[in-house]
A and B are shown apart, each in its own frame.
Chain A
């Protein structure tokens, strides 16, 4: 007996879905004018406002950007990091970079070098890079930084003494950190909350991959973190708040299209399943009679 249309719907080759999926992604990327509305989430707005407030922290304060993303997660985190770094430079906030992943320092450096000329940011004067620190050494480093930043880190990633860099003038300990920005695809938020934020309640903005974000909501509720920039959607939201249209905006539209496709496929699959079941039940009823 030939399969019914409902049975066929249950057995569509997954490669057909992959082709449809790729087309749904390519179309919005190919036509940048095609944009679905982006409504920034409340937690992204809070993150944006917190960084804006850091601009008013005054001299002798510096933002700390703790970065853990690498090539495997750059699809989300490169664009989140780019948006955040753009805001820091746009608001003339001096910042320090520190990396917990071997690949991260190079990738973040590439981003900073791309953005810095536009805002006249100069290494050593407006920002500093503490470099890559092995994850196993992070706990003593964070604990040391709470009390003595130059004493703990001593040199930047090029081996220059931190005390010799103008951006580090007046920067001694955690009280000189205006904001902590944690860009991570890993479970590193805990150590930052436990060892740094918990000590003097420094404002902390969390920038995770989307998969990590739901676990952080309790910390948002308890005000231990001030805002969350969630995945590529968060990057799109952030670009909206910054008034720029970059890859985050285009990718958000593509993402919405993909979600629409997934929802449609779930509905089709369920309709097919239930229709097949009901037609089987009817057939059994007729045979029983």
Chain B
């Protein structure tokens, strides 16, 4: 790529903004600075503005405004006072209005959760009943029986740890609870490892953008 072409690429508005924005946000690692603050506010403003625009073009206009204004489905106008009533929350005098709407929403949510709870958790409970005695003396059955045994032991230990309703005086209960706590710590460690993976993946993507897409560093043998 010739120098003028490279300069044109470097100063191309979307690439330039993306590159500068990425460097500005990462500059916080060096120290707090105004360059970082500016781009942080710019991002928040852009994201909010974009969300507002999409909410109007993709949700409110086709699902609410057009049916009401174009198709004559006038009943949609009734959603406006209901929506305004929620803002009663901010004044003591009209707070009762918001409670009416929230009451309806809570009722709807409770009904949905009631249905959803069984759909989500009953299969979990059912799948925790696992055979710990192998059906046949074949390798696969023995291995899965050992797996199941480990599963049951872990399940019981962790459940015992969460028995807070009574004092854990018995040594067996106490030690089982301690084992449950250790197992939870290992699980939290695994979750933390996954968190690092997410953060690093985002860093890798940004470095790829700045170094190879914006600054156009060469890739060898590509």
CB distance B50 to A103 under 8 Å?
Answer: yes
**Measured CA separation A214–B219 after assembly (Å):** 35
A66 touches B (CB below 8 Å): no
CB distance A75 to B201 under 8 Å?
Answer: yes
The CB with the most chain A CB atoms within 10 A, among B194, B201, B205, B217, is that of: B201
Residue in B29, B116, B196, B202 whose beta carbon sits within 8 Å of that of A195 in the complex: B116
A2 touches B (CB below 8 Å): no
CB distance B55 to A134 under 8 Å?
Answer: yes
Contact A29 B207, CB 8 Å, known A159-B62, A194-B116: yes
Q: 8 Å CB contacts to A: which residues of B163-222?
A: 187, 190-191, 194-198, 200-208, 211-212, 217-222
Interface of B, secondary structure class, is helix
CB distance A233 to B115 under 8 Å?
Answer: no
Between A and B, how many residue pairs show CB distances below 8 Å?
153
Which of chain B's residues have a CB closer than 8 A to the CB of A219? 124
Closest approach, in angstroms, between the C-beta of B36 and any C-beta of chain A? Answer: 15
C-beta contact mask, B32-71 vs A, less than 8 Å → 1, else 0? 0000000000000001001100110011001100000000
Which of chain B's residues have a CB closer than 8 A to the CB of A29? 204, 207-208, 211-212, 219
CB distance B222 to A251 under 8 Å?
Answer: no
Residue in A15, A71, A157, A210 whose beta carbon sits within 8 Å of that of B58 in the complex: A157
Contact A254 B124, CB 8 Å, known A29-B211, A29-B212, A211-B197: no
Which of chain B's residues have a CB closer than 8 A to the CB of A94? none
10 contacts between A and B (CB under 8 A): A25-B204, A32-B220, A32-B221, A33-B220, A103-B47, A194-B113, A194-B116, A221-B151, A222-B124, A231-B197
Enumerate chain A interface residues (CB-CB to B < 8 A).
14-15, 18, 21-22, 25-26, 29-33, 71, 73-76, 78, 102-103, 105, 131-134, 137, 139, 143, 155, 157, 159, 190-191, 193-195, 197-199, 209-211, 213-215, 218-219, 221-224, 230-233, 247, 251, 254-255, 258-259, 262
